[in-house]
Amino acid sequence: MKFIASMLRMKTYGKLSKYYKDGIRLYHKNFILELFEHKSYQQSKAVLSELLDGFVAKQMHPKNILFSSVDVLRSKKIKIPGYSSFAESITIKLNAFENDLVEKINNLLTESQIKALDNLIETNDQPYTRPMLTKLKIVSQSVKPLQIKQSVHAFLIVKKLYFELHDTIDKLGLSPEAIRYYGEWTTKAKIEPVPKALLFDDSRCRLFVDSE
């Protein structure tokens, strides 16, 4: 404002913001957007919502969701919202996706599937015993007969889980990117002994998706 005033050789009296009312500022914003054939964020919230749904379904990293959304909005000539609006929208979408997935899995899982998944992380209160999931995450390249036998046994466990859960996983309609994300999460996660009373459904849900 000061720059424009100086270019027009206008004298300023105090703070210019005192004379630049909110109504005038909003009018100028909309005028500039129309002049450059852009749409305001308020007019295009549905576009951003649809974009976020697609990115979240692929379980993209929040930072990548932000950058990808900005690129698409720019290509569509839509005003980029502030960071706080982006962060809030992404957080809401991620939480909604996770909650919806947990609800779907809880409704789809059978008693036998629940037992199979629980067996992956339970140690039956045996001290110094690693959960089966920890053992399955270790892939041995040894050619010793005993190691080969153990690798075949692990493969048969994974094979059984795959056929037991495959049809149910298909009903979730997850993208390959989302399945890969949950698989990587399970591979990196550490399994600590947890009392049965504190086992959460979402832990079982992650194992369920990773079985794909």
pLDDT < 50 regions, the chain: 194-200, 209, 211-212
* pTM more than 0.85: no
Determine the pLDDT at residue 198. Answer: 41
Determine the pLDDT at residue 19. Answer: 64
- pLDDT, one tens digit per residue, over 80-117 is 888 888 889 999 999 999 999 999 998 999 999 988 88
- Secondary structure percentages of the chain, helix, strand, coil, to 5: 70, 0, 30
Determine the pLDDT at residue 71. Answer: 92
Q: Which residues pair with 39 in a beta bridge?
A: 78
Q: Which string of DSSP letters, residue by residue, matches 128-186?
A: T---HHHHHT------SHHHHHHHHHHHHHHHHHHHHHHHHHHTTT--HHHHHHHHHHH
Displacement of CA 41 from its chain's centroid (Å): 23
Determine the pLDDT at residue 189. Answer: 72
Of 68, 47, 166, 183, the closest CA to residue 116 belongs to 166
